[in-house]
Chain A
Amino acid sequence: MRTFGFRTSRLAAAAVAATLATAGLAGGAAAQQQQTVVFWNNWDGSRTAQLRTVLDEFEKRNPGIKVENVTLSSDTTAQRMLTALASGAVPDLYMTQANDFPRWAGLGALQPLDDLVKRDGVDLDKLFFKSSIDGSRWNGRLIQYPFKVATSLMVWYNKDLFRKAGLDPDKPPRTWAELEEAAKKTTIVNNGVVEQLGINICLNCNTGAGSENPFIELLSRNGGNVLTADAKGVAFDDQKGVDTLRWMVAFSERTSGNWSNAVRQFGTTWKDLRPSFYAGKMAMMLDGPFLWNILANDAPGMQEKVGVFLLPTNDRNPEARQRYIAYGVPGYGIPRGAKNVEGAWKLLKFIGSEDAGACAFFRFQKRADTPLRDCQVEVPATVADVFRANAELVEAPVAPTSFQQVHVRIQQMQEAALLGKQTPEEAIKAAADDVRRILSRTN
Chain B
Amino acid sequence: MDRSVVDGSAARPTTPRDAAVPRARGLSNTTREALWGYLFVMPWIVGFVLFSAGPILATVYLAMTEYNVVEAPRWVGLRNFDDLFFHDPQYLKALMVTVEYSAVRVPLVIVVGIAFAMLINTNMRGVNLFRLALYLPSIVPLVAASVLWLWLLNPQFGFVNPWLRDGFGVVAPNWLRDERTALYAIVALSVWQVGHTMMIFLASLQEIPKDLYEAAEIDGASLWQKTWRITIPMITPTIYFNLIMGIISSFQAFAAVFILTRGGPANSTLVYIMYLYRRGVEFLEMGYASAMALILVGIILSLTVLIMKTSDRWVNYDRA
Q: Are B177 and A268 in contact (CB under 8 A)?
A: yes
Q: Are B263 and A208 in contact (CB under 8 A)?
A: yes
> Which residue of B71, B261, B266 is within 8 Å of A415 (Cβ)?
B266
Q: Are B155 and A265 in contact (CB under 8 A)?
A: yes
Q: Is A266 an interface residue (CB 8 A)?
A: yes
- Nearest residue (CB) in B for A84 is B69
Q: Are A206 and B261 in contact (CB under 8 A)?
A: yes
Q: Are B69 and A267 in contact (CB under 8 A)?
A: no
Q: Is A71 an interface residue (CB 8 A)?
A: no
Given the interface contacts A107-B284, A208-B278, A265-B156, does A419 sit within 8 Å of B179 by beta carbon? yes
Q: Are A267 and B264 in contact (CB under 8 A)?
A: no
A192 and B178 CA atoms in complex are apart in Å by: 17
Q: Are A108 and B70 in contact (CB under 8 A)?
A: yes
Minimum CB–CB distance for B166 against chain A, Å? 13
Residues in B whose Cβ lies below 8 Å from that of A108 = 70
Mask, B53-80, CB within 8 Å of A = 1, is 0000000000000001111000000000
Mask, A359-388, CB within 8 Å of B = 1, is 000000000000000000000000000000
A260 and B150 CA atoms in complex are apart in Å by: 19
A55 and B113 CA atoms in complex are apart in Å by: 52
A306 and B258 CA atoms in complex are apart in Å by: 33
Q: Is B281 an interface residue (CB 8 A)?
A: yes
Residues in B whose Cβ lies below 8 Å from that of A206 = 177, 261-262, 264-266
Size range of the interface on A?
35 or more
Q: Are A279 and B266 in contact (CB under 8 A)?
A: no
Q: Is A53 an interface residue (CB 8 A)?
A: no
Q: Is B154 an interface residue (CB 8 A)?
A: yes
Mask, B270-289, CB within 8 Å of A = 1, is 10000000100111100000
Minimum CB–CB distance for B276 against chain A, Å? 13
A206 and B174 CA atoms in complex are apart in Å by: 13
A402 and B156 CA atoms in complex are apart in Å by: 37
Q: Are A419 and B69 in contact (CB under 8 A)?
A: no
Residues in B whose Cβ lies below 8 Å from that of A86 = 69
Minimum CB–CB distance for B130 against chain A, Å? 34
Minimum CB–CB distance for A387 against chain B, Å? 29
Q: Are B69 and A85 in contact (CB under 8 A)?
A: yes
Residues in B whose Cβ lies below 8 Å from that of A207 = 262-267, 270
- Nearest residue (CB) in B for A421 is B266
Name the interface residues of A255-314: CB closer than 8 Å to any CB of B. Answer: 260, 263-268, 271-272, 275-276, 279, 281
Mask, B122-161, CB within 8 Å of A = 1, is 0000000000000000000000000000100011110000
Mask, B242-261, CB within 8 Å of A = 1, is 00000000000000001001
Q: List 25 A-B contacts (CB under 8 A).
A: A78-B281, A78-B282, A86-B69, A107-B68, A107-B70, A107-B71, A192-B171, A206-B177, A206-B261, A206-B265, A207-B263, A265-B155, A265-B174, A267-B155, A268-B265, A271-B150, A272-B177, A276-B156, A279-B156, A281-B156, A402-B283, A404-B282, A405-B283, A419-B179, A421-B266
**5 other contacts beyond A272-B177, A279-B156, A404-B283, with CB at 8 A cut-off?**
A265-B156, A404-B282, A412-B266, A412-B267, A415-B265
| Chain A interfacial positions (CB closer than 8 Å to B) | 75, 78-79, 82, 85-86, 103, 107-109, 192-193, 206-209, 260, 263-268, 271-272, 275-276, 279, 281, 402, 404-405, 408, 412, 415-416, 419, 421
